[in-house]
Structure 1
């Protein structure tokens, strides 16, 4: 395996680095979304009882314990519950805009890696082919078979390595973007239900 990677030439180093970073981001985001989903479910379960009882202090404590984007928005609503309804909704919308980047954290680097890995693999293909043609041009009809094989190996290995990093990165990037969009919709629905209770429209 090491010999195969080594045959890919110097471009294998940035491709491997991209692969390591992409793996870290994918694992970190999977754990993050799993944790906030579990905490948000508990938060909304607790809030149902606290809001029905009018216990806003307990709501604030539950939000602090959850420590998720949703809990931050709900806490903002609790803090501003005495505002006029229009001002309350504006404050909540502003807080929503503030917390959404935490859901999108590291997704831009993951998308960038997906593109860069493909381009690095393509660059390795080009440089490997240049070397192969150089061997053919300087060594008669076939050139040195060992040098020719090494140049072809560099072209193929970097291409495969780049795609092996790029394909999972693209898949998980699109998956996480869809998760973010779904979380935002769910957050809007849950915060709206809290606002309806705070404004007295729903008991």
Structure 2
């Protein structure tokens, strides 16, 4: 039998160490399932061009077009930044403290969703390595036990020894086959997740500052208008128009 045939033959229940092989195969299936789920999830949350999306949102905020900005966030679907922006825009006129608190709260709810199940890949990588090592030790135990058996001829001893070593090598090989991709995938997903989180932090802070700036300008304008309404008065006498502020003449116009 060639290597591939011998390797798959190790899954046969008649072979020693087959339990380790099937447990490792289960780890591989779980790893594949998590990988597919994370790929779909992160691709939907990252968006195609977050920078361009947020530039449009900020431009709409500057133009006081909050309704259109909300529509853009809704159309963006499940993108993480769109979710945060939509939540914050819903309370755009709430004041600085409320806006900053809402940004922090929303970002903190997004981060666990982005990181969910990614850590399992690292766990599978470590567990697969240890299971492979356990299978190796089991195979070596069988090998040494066969050598120490009395009343067995040399040919049978060599057969049992080879079988034990094969068990040890098969479990080690499969354990590494599962562990190495799992650890690499964990690192890749971790990097992608951190990239999305950094983008959300950066753009949410920019948007919050822009909303706070707009709220300050609006509040300042309202206060100024209110003060003018209360303090400015006009008197018309003959051909003269007199403007008073706080009962003081500030301008006189001849008509």
Unpaired runs of at least 5, structure 2: 11-16, 218-255
Higher relative contact order (CA 8 A, sep 6+): 1
For residues 127-165 of structure 1, give each alpha carbon's deviation from its aligned partner in whole angstroms, at most 9, with x where no partner exists.
111111111111558553322211111100101111111
**Counterpart among 67, 81, 103 of residue 92 in structure 2:** 81
Match of 1:4 among 3, 7, 14: 7
Which protein has the larger Cα radius of gyration, Structure 1 or Structure 2?
A: 2
What is the TM-score of this pair, normalised by structure 1? 0.88
Q: Contact 1:104–1:180 at 8 Å: present in 2 too? A: yes
Q: 1:2 to 1:101 in 2, by over 3 A?
A: farther
Structure 1 residues 39, 31: closer, same or farther in 2, change over 3 A?
same
In 2: Cα distance, 1:38 partner to 1:70 partner:
8
- Distance across 2 between alignment mates of 1:114 and 1:192: 36
Is residue 47 of structure 1 aligned with residue 57 of structure 2?
yes
Confirm or deny that 1:145 pairs with 2:140.
no
Specify the SS of the correspondent of 1:71.
Answer: helix
Say whether 1:131 aligns with 2:142: yes
Aligned-pair CA distance for 1:39: 4.5
1:77 CA displacement: 0.9
Indicate whether 1:196 and 2:199 are aligned.
Answer: no
Q: Which has the higher helix share?
A: 1
Q: Normalized against structure 2, the TM-score is what?
A: 0.71
Q: Is the 8 A contact 2:124 2:179 kept in 1?
A: yes
Q: Which runs of 5 or more residues in structure 1 are unaligned?
A: none
Structure 2 equivalent of residue 33 of structure 1: 42
The count of aligned residue pairs is: 203
Return the offset for 1:110. Answer: 1.1
Residues 60 and 39 of structure 1, relative CA distance in 2, 3 Å threshold:
farther
Root-mean-square deviation (Å): 2.4
The Cα shift of 1:30 comes to 3.0
The Cα shift of 1:108 comes to 1.9
Q: CA deviation at 1:40?
A: 5.2
Q: CA deviation at 1:201?
A: 6.0
| Distance (Å, rounded) in 2 between the aligned partners of 1:84 and 1:195 | 10
1:53-102 residue CA offsets vs partner (Å, 9 max, x unmatched): 32222222222232222222111211121222022101110111111011
2:128 and 2:179 in contact (8 A); partners too: yes
